[in-house]
Structure 1
Amino acid sequence: MRRFLTVFIVLAAWSSSAVAERQSGKVDASVARLGALNVEERALLAPHLAHGPVLLTEFKNRQTDLPAVIYAARIHAPATTIAGVIGKPAEYPRFMDALTSVDIREVNGQMTAFDWSWGVTLFSLTGQNVMTSYPGDSTRGYRFDIRTIAGDLGIGRVMWRVYPEGPNRSLVVFASRLDMRDANYITRQLASEGNAVNRTVNVAVAMVTLLEVKAEAERRAGTSIDGVYAAKPLRRPQVDMYALRSLLSRGDLVFMDMDGKTLHSVAVVGRSGASERRVRRVMLDPEEFGKSLLHGTCAEVVERSERGTRFEWEIPIPLLHVGGEMILRPSPRVVSVDGISGTLSKGRWRFDTYRYPGGEAGVIAWAIFDPADSPKLIRKLIAGNTYFSHGFVAATQLAVMRSLRTRVHLLGR
């Protein structure tokens, strides 16, 4: 249990937003409505889906203070094949590496109740789910509603939607909301960190689930891509910020560039709610920007030169050293931050802004880093599970956007 606590303290420290998002006792997470992507939104995201999964991490709304995370991924398999993978939980342990067991408790018509256990290197979790399978076909698509009613991940709800795009291609949209604040003593203590812990766990666990379903469906369809791919150069993503403005009013978007299991880069885009001048003021200040990279960071400039501004950063976590040295290279447009030594020494981050009509700044951030380039505890956490590592990268990049937005708003006070 101590290991379990330590893992989530580290995740919270790496992925928390700078201002705690408090619990307000709104609608239960197992019944609150889960968002989706309409036809127009799916069309807007199509160019990005060609490169890898897309995540929309919603903001708070009036119904619930635990917003959903909505994933979309293109899967090269018939919709019927994908439905066969999702709709048979008894078979999950055969292809989900972290899922150690599923015990079917009851089947009643379209409803299936099952218990599960899930584990990675350092800890294991258990829970109880109820799945409802709705009528569907290869033309209309399929829908599955899964409610988590008890367990170490608390309560929550998952909605799978499978949209056929042809005989051997489908779009899968996977919405997830977990409320682990009252799951056990440890999660109740971590509730003081706000929604960031819930969001991190949502992103990481759901990423594993989605990518393993994708891999299994493509294996069954004979379209799976194996092998290790050479790393691509880190390039600015082609993003139409104006076209995405309505989606970005719902939440931040994360774009993943992948080939098979190889993750090339992760980009996050969002609206700042502030002027471009104020956003760039934070981006061009190494101490302020260093604090924005990860919540809880202490940053101090050690050298200014023509090459850029070197700064040391550290997250004070007992018994761990999370920190190192980075260099910030400002420019009129793209701001570069590169790791030099310590944690994330091989990481590279790039930031730019987009000015909306009216003056609000949108932020575009893209990066590549390896979570294994980190303290031993985190290396153990992701060991042997590539998809969990990818989820951790996505959650961390998302946290950078939220932390930067918070620093910008604090600057305006």
Structure 2
Amino acid sequence: MGIIQALRGTRDILPEEVGYWQWVESVARDILNVAAYQEIRTPIFELTALFERGIGEATDVVGKEMYTFNSRGENPYSITLRPEGTAGVVRSYIENHLDVKGGIQRLWYMGPMFRYEAPQAGRQRQFHQLGVEVLGSADSRADAELIAIATDILQTLGLKNLHLYINSVGSPEDRQSYRQALVDYLTPYKEELDPDSQVRLERNPLRILDSKDKRTQAIVEDAPSIVNYLGTESRRYFEQVKARLTDLGIAYELNPRLVRGLDYYTHLAFEIVSDDLGAQATVCGGGRYDGLVAELGGPSTPAVGWAMGLERLIILLQQLQQPPAKTLDFYVVSRGEAAESQALKLATQLRRIGFSVELDLSGSAFKKQFARADKSGAVACLILGDEEAANQTVKLKWMATKEQNAIAQVELLAKTDELRRQLDTAGSYKL
């Protein structure tokens, strides 16, 4: 039997790439924390009915892309690996009575999602999303706040060439009126549409608007615009959102063809796209979904949210810049049984008082350990040999200047504040 490999559509995130992921996670967590958003962690598999009811049976996600299987036991039931995060968050909101416990809920999540589709750059069958949801607010400020937070995260990461596109898909009543107008327009062209769009014409015609087929795109170019079918209340709300964005200095462009791919959206729909990603340009997408909580059996609850595809975001960051390098304070080299034992103890003690320390575990000659110390990026090197072990000392070598001196191990551990100042003035490592 050959070597077992990762399944198609999955990939390992190796240590040299993990720095980007940790950077994104850290930036997002910091920005969301100061905005008073709380993290929620939901299961990666749920009852299939949750996604059928929440996302919509006529969507591509439910119809083609879900990983679904039966449970074990005498009375099996259908289970699905989550294809997106919002439905699970809403299920948790209802089940745990979060509306009663805390009023408006500002929630965020991060984790793997699963969809069966052709793997390509930035799109895997197991992929990762950062998502944010506000449940319980019908205020247009919630929409603008979410977009501002997404913008802050992307800009803090250093991304440029970003564009915000917005649209209103109106109320369910507005959408029904528009749906009929769209069907009336497209029906004479049915045979000219791509096969997927022909099916969508019966099941989910609004999805035809974001078809990637060039012939279909040309046909929908002259299709009716949903903007012309918005009711008075929908128009008022959309104008409020636009005014909020203008007040925040956030530039946007109207895109009347933007509908998003899931049935639960109402009113605002938006995407943030990058010019640096080619065909897979969307790095963040979301909108309002005022009917989803009630659809899933909860109380009538207005809500708005977005999700970022982390794989696409990481690809962008890798193209544009290096992540902030982690600073390593000390690299510890040792040779000899007593020295190696003391080196382990010293490294552990330094870590416990807050220093970052890498202990060379190779047992190889000093020359090879020093070479690894040079490559480690450490500010200083701690050296223990037979002599240092016998005297309970350690040699402290500054990597930038190559200066070194011997110091008692207990003294090194006692002078924490001075040691921190010396590490700072010796120069911290930058990639």
Q: Structure 2 length as normaliser, TM-score?
A: 0.28
Bigger RCO (CA 8 Å, 6+ sep): 1
- Larger % of helix: which? 2
Larger radius of gyration between Structure 1 and Structure 2: 2
Q: Structure 1 length as normaliser, TM-score?
A: 0.29
- Larger % of strand: which? 1
